[in-house]
């Protein structure tokens, strides 16, 4: 990923937080001369490995898992808030449009998880994360055993020990304080939720002095 130094983020705790808050990622692998991509929810186990481990699963009918080969690296893309930035919001007269965004790239070699017991453990960790806060959470343990067995038989799990993390926070860091204030003001008044989220993030970063 192209990352100017002003936009580079290397702190593991920040990168891990971005992954957790934007956990629906894109898994990219190579297979038979083609690039394959699947959009999936991921569980980050930050304490496993030097940079954490990503865990997920896909439908067995999805042939991408067959592209997992020993020693071959995969890439998982996570994207946070993003927003179009109009030059009309800048104090500087001569400017061009751009796009602000947050992205994390995680690299590692996938390992398949096909053991039924391991897969059930994976689902038992993943499901409660997304069910949390619902008035009547869907609980895996309430399902009949034979139904769970059939469900598990239809998926392939995997884990990716992270060997490399790249983080980019493009938040108008190269602009003057006046330009950034104009961007934050415009995005804050937008009817788009992502625009407002970007404005809040920019304001928070400016408030931290970086």
Query: For the segment 140-177, what is each residue's pLDDT rounded down to a tens digit?
Result: 888 898 999 998 999 999 999 999 999 999 999 999 99
Q: Please check whether residue 203 lies inside any domain of the structure.
A: no
The CATH number of the domain where 107 resides is what? 2.30.110.10
* pLDDT of the residue at 48: 93
41: three-class secondary structure by DSSP: strand
* Residue span of the structural domain in which 12 resides: 5-84+97-172
Residue 119 maps to a domain: yes
Each residue's pLDDT tens digit, 52-70: 999 999 999 999 999 898 8
Give a yes or no: residue 210 inside a domain.
Answer: no
DSSP code string of 123-140: HHHHHHHHHTT-SS---G
Q: Kindly state the tokens that stand for 170.
A: 């493009």
Tens of pLDDT along 117-132?
A: 999 999 999 999 999 8
**Tokens read off for 42:** 């991921």
Total tally of structural domains belonging to the chain: 1
pTM of the model: 0.91
Residue 113 lies in a domain: yes
Helix ranges restricted to H, the chain: 12-21, 116-131, 145-153, 177-188, 193-207
DSSP state of 33: T
């Amino acid at each position: 990923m192209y990352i100017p130094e002003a936009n580079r983020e290397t702190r593991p705790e920040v990168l891990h937080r971005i992954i957790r808050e934007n956990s629906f990622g894109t898994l990219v692998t190579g297979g038979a001369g083609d690039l394959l991509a699947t959009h999936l929810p991921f569980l980050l186990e930050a304490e496993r490995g030097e940079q954490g481990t990503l865990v997920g699963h896909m439908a067995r009918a999805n042939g991408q898992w067959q592209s997992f080969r020993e020693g071959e690296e995969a890439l998982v893309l996570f994207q946070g808030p993003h927003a179009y930035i109009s030059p009309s919001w800048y104090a500087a007269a001569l400017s061009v449009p751009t796009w602000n965004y947050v992205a994390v790239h995680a690299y590692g070699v996938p390992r398949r998880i096909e053991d039924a017991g391991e897969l059930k453990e994976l689902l038992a960790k993943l499901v409660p994360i997304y069910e949390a806060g619902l008035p009547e959470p869907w609980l895996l343990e309430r399902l009949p055993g034979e139904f769970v067995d059939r469900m598990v038989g239809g998926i392939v799990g995997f884990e990716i020990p992270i060997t490399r993390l790249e983080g980019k926070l493009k938040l108008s860091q190269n602009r003057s304080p006046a330009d950034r204030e104009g961007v934050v003001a415009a995005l804050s008044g937008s009817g788009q939720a992502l625009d407002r989220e970007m404005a809040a993030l920019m304001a928070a970063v400016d408030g931290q002095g970086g």
